[in-house]
Structure formats: structure tokens, C-alpha cells
Chain A
Amino acid sequence: MAMLHVVNKSPYDARNLDTASSIMKSDDSLLLIEDGVYGAVKKGKAASLLGGHKVSVLGPDLAARGISEDKLIDGVEVIDYAGFVDLVEANDKVQSWL
């Protein structure tokens, strides 16, 4: 049973990404939304937390924050709200790390 982990806080403000990335299992997926998208910026310290995980980022939240896709670490999938819905469907349950 695979889980979708959702993180909506900046890793430089809160430890939610820390917790999520350390508890995730290999089949699980991670979705960064809202302020959580800052975690996917390459060269940021938090980027190392994402290594080895399946990571998606909500495109509208990136754009709102002026983060162009070329600023993201490799291997991150940029999705929209429809993609968010698909991720929820593809996983058995959702864990929102509020």
C-alpha cells in the first residue's frame, strides 16, 4: 500500500519536509505544494532530503513564487491540480504533513 505525502511548508521555516522524507517508504510519493515547493529548488540545503524519493511539485505554486522549472532539482515532476487528483487516486491514502 503506497502513500502520498503532502508537504505545504517551506523546509527553511518548518521541519515537515524533514519528517516526511525520513518516514517515507520506497513506494511512496511526495508532493510539494504551497510554500513546500521551495524544498525542490536545487542548491538549497533541503534538496538533499529529496534524494531517492518520487517527488512532484505543484506547478501553479512554483509559478506564483517566481520559481522557474530550470531552478528545480533533477527528476522532480511538475504537475497541476488535475495531476494532484491523479496522485491521490494512484496512492492508497494521503498523509498531509501539516
Chain B
Amino acid sequence: MSEVTKKFMYINRKAPYGTIYAWEALEVILIGAAFEQDVSVTFMDDGVYQLMKGQDTTGIGMKNFSPTYAALGDFEITKIYVEKESLEERGLSLDDLQHLVWEDEDEDWAEKDSIRLVSRAELADVLADQDVLFNF
């Protein structure tokens, strides 16, 4: 769709359901996938809560959109950065989060982890390397 390829980073820093940002950010990520850019997604600060397993929204009457994260791999979004400090200060570990994977067609569709656990310092380097930063 475009001759230019830029490094796009979508940054998620807000918890789900309390506000709409988490869901509407996902909508941008999914639509953006069609534009064949070099896409990465970051979850940091309260954004890490978006990936928690076992979300059941029946009691609050909202659509549970958490299954959508598992589909990111199908949209060729394979670089998902989760910030270590954000998890730790919230008493969470990767075990509390969904296990997100993508299938590498160059390696016989082998399933690979999409989530890269990074420290804040490592994340700073990742962000510095991007061309466009989206925030919600």
C-alpha cells in the first residue's frame, strides 16, 4: 500500500475497561497492520494490565476484547514489548499475561513468542530506534 516503510511503535500505557483507550488503540493497530510498516507494540505502566489472562467482563456489560491480542500474530505483529519494571511494581509476572505467539512461515510455521520482556533501559533503546510513536 505504500513505498515508504517506517518503524511504527504503538505505545499502550493505560488499563483496559476503565477508559476506552486500550480498545481504540487496538483498533488502530489492527487497521495499521494492512499498511505493511515495521510494527512494534509496547505495553508499559498500566498498559501491562491489558494483557492479563482470564478477563471476564460479563458483570460490567462491556465487550471482552482481550482475545484480540492473541490474534496480533496473525496480523504479522510479532514484536510486542512488555516492560519489566511496570510488571514488577504491579506484582505481576509474564505468567499473569496471555502467552502471545506468531507463526514463522520461514520456519515451517514454527510458533514463536511475540512478547519480549524488556527493562526500562532496554525499552528506551527500542523507542529511540523507532520512526513514528503512537500514543492513546
The answer to whether any beta carbons of A and B sit under 8 Å apart in the complex is: yes
Interface residues of A (CB under 8 A from B): 1, 3, 15, 19, 22-25, 92-98
B-side contacts of A22, CB under 8 Å = 120
A-side contacts of B127, CB under 8 Å = 3, 23, 95
Contact B124 A95 (CB under 8 A): no
User: By the criterion of a CB under 8 Å from any partner CB, how many residues of chain B are at the interface?
Assistant: 16
Select which of A19, A23, A25, A93 is within 8 A of B133 by beta carbon.
A93
Asked whether any CB of chain A lies closer than 8 Å to the CB of B136, the reply is: yes
Asked whether any CB of chain A lies closer than 8 Å to the CB of B64, the reply is: no
Interface residues of B (CB under 8 A from A): 11, 13, 44-45, 120, 123-124, 127-133, 135-136
* A37 → chain B closest CB, angstroms: 19
B-side contacts of A23, CB under 8 Å = 120, 123-124, 127
* B27 → chain A closest CB, angstroms: 17
Contact A93 B120 (CB under 8 A): no
* B9 → chain A closest CB, angstroms: 9
The SS class assigned to the A binding surface is mixed
A-side contacts of B123, CB under 8 Å = 23
A-side contacts of B132, CB under 8 Å = 93
Q: Using CB atoms, name the residue of chain A closest to B129.
A: A1
**Assembly CA distance A93 to B120 (angstroms):** 19
Contact A93 B131 (CB under 8 A): yes
Contact B45 A19 (CB under 8 A): yes
**Assembly CA distance A25 to B132 (angstroms):** 17
19 CB < 8 A contacts A-B = A1-B128, A1-B129, A3-B127, A3-B128, A22-B120, A23-B120, A23-B124, A23-B127, A24-B124, A25-B128, A93-B131, A93-B132, A94-B133, A95-B11, A95-B133, A95-B135, A96-B133, A97-B135, A98-B135
**Assembly CA distance A87 to B3 (angstroms):** 28
Contact A96 B135 (CB under 8 A): yes
Q: Using CB atoms, name the residue of chain B closest to A93.
A: B133
**Assembly CA distance A95 to B132 (angstroms):** 9
**Assembly CA distance A98 to B21 (angstroms):** 11
B-side contacts of A95, CB under 8 Å = 11, 127, 133, 135
Q: Using CB atoms, name the residue of chain B closest to A28.
A: B128
Contact B13 A98 (CB under 8 A): yes
